[in-house]
Amino acid sequence: MVRTGLEVLLEEGLGLLAGRRVGVLCHPASVDSRLGHVVDRLTAAGVKLARLFGPEHGIRGEAQDMVGLGDERDARSGIAVTSLYGDSPESLAPSPQSLADIDVLVVDLQDVGSRYYTFIWTMALCMQAAAGAGVALIVLDRPNPIGGVAIEGGEVAAWAESFVGLGSLPVRHGLTIGEAARLVASGMPWGGARFAKPLDCDLEVVAMRGWRRADHFDATSLPWVMPSPNMPTPDTALVYPGLCLVEGTNVSEGRGTTRPFEIVGAPFIDGHRLAERLAADGLPGVGFRPLRFRPSFHKFAGRACGGVQIHVTDRAAFRPYLTGVAILRALHALGGEAFRWRTEPYEFVSDRLAIDLLTGGDAIRKGIEAGAALDDLRATWVAAEAAFPERRRGCLLY
């Protein structure tokens, strides 16, 4: 069984916290192998917890996507909670005041291996703020549930930086959250600008024991706890690097169903035509089943939609980002005038299209609009994809 950074800290590293005022950035999946939550485990070990910090969805995971939360007290522990996902971009980073009563910030977040998933950027902003406040930062490492070998996607242009890409990572980056922290600390001088320079921060990563780069979550023997309301299973995490792209359109990405991100569709989509078109693309390791569904909330709530369910048949061969781009291309072609790119504000950005923020630029969108072949779309990211293994090499722990 894999031992997470939390368990290694509890068994071997509590001296790192002795006599220090401790803050904890956590969420529902911040648990040990017996489902004990980090707050409960540290408190039981005699650690003085001065403050908790909650990422998007909150420390207990009750809020849906892009729902701002205010500061509060944790209902279970009674400890003050600072929300790092409020109603403005400024709310995404801890203020100097919220760091004034702590000496060290412990980060224990289960990531899902995709640049869009906001937890790594919450951590990065905490690293930046902690460096300015003289607060140490300890990251408790956890598995990348979709493995640490495969890489997909290109760079993030500086103009396309947002909370789904504050730095230039591939969409599927193959890093654990601890490795991502090391990369942020070392600087990312390619693509975007915010974290281009190294951070002068007091960072320590408590590494896992027993995790191997090729391991998916089912190889760890750890319990899966939803890190956010629409990430119910590791299967969801596997398709997420591609299917989250649908958030940049007016098509449902399956929120309001029991299989979010594995189901996609809209009232104006014929699921059989969509499945046939995607089958013709010859995408590796995946099949598409036409279906009808009726979301209970979010896009098209209560309305019948046509679409497909994505069935991964060979996860080693499966390329979620390529699959997601293929789905966008098919939806654009089949949706006609009913299809549109999302123009509503997205992750606190209102002056750029959500799809450009998700893909890191406008090449994919413009290519789809021009009728580009799938191979030509893929050519826009392969060079950056090929360069990333060397860029991340010095930050790997496993």
pLDDT at 133: 97
pLDDT above 80: residue 117: yes
Q: Do domains 5-226 and 234-361 have the same CATH topology?
A: no
Distances, alpha carbon 264 to alpha carbons 19, 142, 222, 228, 334, in Å = 51, 29, 29, 19, 13
234-361 folds as Aspartate Aminotransferase, domain 1 (3.90.1150)
Global pTM? Answer: 0.96
d(CA 99, CA 119): 19
In this prediction, residues 209-213 reach a mean pLDDT of 98
111: number of Cβ within 10 Å = 25
The candidate with the shortest Cα–Cα distance to 152, out of 293, 13, 318, 300, is: 318
pLDDT higher than 90, residue 70: no
Domain 5-226, CATH: 3.40.50.12170
Structure-model confidence comparison of residues 72 and 325, the more confident one: 325
- Identify the pLDDT of residue 225: 98
pLDDT at 191 over 80: no
- The predicted-structure confidence for 343-359, as pLDDT tens digits, reads as follows 999 999 999 999 999 99
Q: Which alpha helices (DSSP H) does the chain contain, by range?
A: 5-12, 38-44, 96-99, 119-133, 177-186, 234-243, 271-280, 320-335, 354-359, 363-369, 374-378, 382-392
Q: Where are the domains of the chain?
A: 5-226, 234-361
